[in-house]
Structure 1
């Protein structure tokens, strides 16, 4: 993410219900944390994808798989990450991640 491009969605998705959380998502998470120069956007994307798989958070995974592609992670690397995580996060979580990946990689 660049400073002039905020993520699309938090305020539209849940800003009416939780405006503070939407603001923190846009300003702190995607503004400050994602812009921290100590990790490249590519590395940050791989870490985020692995973390989401580990937590079984497949609902947010589709967005971050797409973001990883934008940040230079190849489709082959994303599938390798999911496969690798099967052994550390669990087979069912990796299989759920593949469901999210199938739709993202098809686009």
Structure 2
């Protein structure tokens, strides 16, 4: 009877090894696609300081820190509510100056610049 138990134990261990190998094969991480290579190393990116031509608050940031961007790509949008109010106020001043007469129009235009 001992021989039969040892034989079944051997079959059971063999089955476990086959199941473990199958599970590893099915659950392993996928390899790299054809044409790609893997290596360790360090690549230095070019850091660039950016600034706006006018002062204001940023409304929306469209990229994440460390994200690669291309030249000309929009990175953020400014809150333009204050600028729009200033523009409307300047336009109202120009209209008021135009109503007063041509001599005062140049004064209003120089005040808005």
TM-score, structure 2 length as denominator?
A: 0.22
Instruction: Looking at secondary structure, tell me which structure has more strand per residue.
Output: 2
TM-score, structure 1 length as denominator?
A: 0.23
Q: Looking at both structures, which has the greater relative contact order when contacts are Cα pairs under 8 Å and sequence separation is at least 6?
A: 1
